[in-house]
């Protein structure tokens, strides 16, 4: 049975547009299957991102040269990259200086059929992820495919993804922020399987619950 807070949130979404980060559930089957808010599609030549305050999609910057996302790209609602994500990243990399990037957890979604509309919610099956570190900040990228996808739906884990496609995704994430004349320190230290991706998602959900615990207590 849903809590009083969840019931009130549900009623509010009938009157107001739900905030994609706070007003949408991570998913009843999380971390195996998660709801994903799509910020960008493969045809976008401008980088869009969620404005965390208003919940609206905003223009961040034009894409550099031909740096167009090779997949759907967005965030997992009600996740946050805080101290647990940082501790997990430090543990896996034998470091102690990494912090969370204080953003929702990123996700890229593979789909056989083209989806050209952003600002939508997509159910995604998690199969792995990249451990990305951006200027000493943990910036994991969860890899998933569209639920019930007719082609990618047969993949069970990251090892099922062709190496060339993994390399393409890595290249995008390692270069899309590059600005001529400026030094940018970004690296992908590991490609991990779905079980580790589940851990990352769970840590980010716990970070979110701690960071935004007042949201539910406000209405409960």
Within a domain: residue 168?
yes
Residue 5: the pLDDT is 67
Residue 60: the pLDDT is 84
Residue 181: the pLDDT is 64
Within a domain: residue 55?
yes
Residue 65: the pLDDT is 61
Distance CA(194)–CA(144), nearest Å, equals 9
Query: Is residue 125 within 8 Å of residue 87, measured between CB atoms?
Result: no
SS3 107: strand
Residue 140: the pLDDT is 99
pLDDT in tens, the chain (220 residues): 667 767 766 666 666 788 999 999 999 999 999 999 999 999 998 889 999 999 999 998 776 665 778 999 999 999 999 999 999 999 999 999 999 999 999 999 999 999 999 999 999 999 999 999 999 999 999 999 999 999 999 999 999 999 999 999 999 999 877 666 667 679 999 999 999 999 999 999 999 999 998 765 544 3
| 92 membership: H or E segment, kind and range | helix 83-93
Within a domain: residue 206?
yes
User: Considering its fold, how many domains does the chain have in total?
Assistant: 1
Per the structure, the complete domain to which residue 114 belongs is given by: 26-212
Residue 219: the pLDDT is 40
35, two tokens: 């709801």
Which residues, including other chains, have CB under 8 Å from residue 26's CB and lie 6 or more apart? 34, 35, 76, 77, 78, 79, 201, 205
Considering the entire predicted model, what is its pTM?
0.89
Residue 218: the pLDDT is 46
Distances (CA, A) of 88 to 30, 177, 193, 218: 19, 24, 15, 30
Within a domain: residue 151?
yes
Residue 37: the pLDDT is 99
The domain spanning residue 143 has which CATH number?
Answer: 3.90.80.10
Within a domain: residue 70?
yes
Residue 191: the pLDDT is 98
Within a domain: residue 2?
no
Distance CA(197)–CA(130), nearest Å, equals 9
Within a domain: residue 96?
yes
Residue 114: the pLDDT is 92
């Amino acid at each position: 049975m849903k809590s009083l807070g969840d019931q009130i949130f549900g009623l509010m979404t009938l009157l107001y547009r739900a905030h994609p980060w706070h007003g949408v559930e991570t998913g009843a089957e999380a971390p195996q299957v998660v709801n994903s808010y799509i910020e960008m599609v493969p045809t976008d030549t401008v980088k869009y991102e969620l404005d965390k305050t208003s919940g609206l999609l905003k223009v961040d910057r034009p894409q550099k040269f031909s740096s167009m996302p090779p997949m759907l790209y967005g965030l997992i609602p009600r996740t946050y990259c805080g101290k647990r994500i940082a501790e997990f990243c430090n543990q896996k990399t034998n470091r102690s200086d990494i912090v969370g990037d204080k953003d929702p957890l990123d996700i890229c979604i593979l789909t056989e059929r083209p989806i050209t509309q952003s600002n939508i919610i997509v159910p995604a099956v998690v199969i792995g992820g990249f451990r990305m570190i951006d200027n000493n900040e943990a910036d994991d990228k969860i890899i998933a495919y569209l639920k019930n996808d007719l082609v990618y739906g047969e993949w069970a884990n990251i090892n099922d993804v062709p190496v060339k496609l993994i390399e393409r995704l890595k290249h995008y994430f390692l270069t899309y922020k590059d600005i001529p004349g400026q030094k940018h320190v970004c690296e992908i230290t590991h490609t991990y399987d779905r079980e580790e991706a589940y851990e990352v998602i769970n840590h980010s959900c716990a970070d979110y619950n701690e960071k935004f615990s007042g949201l539910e207590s406000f209405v409960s």
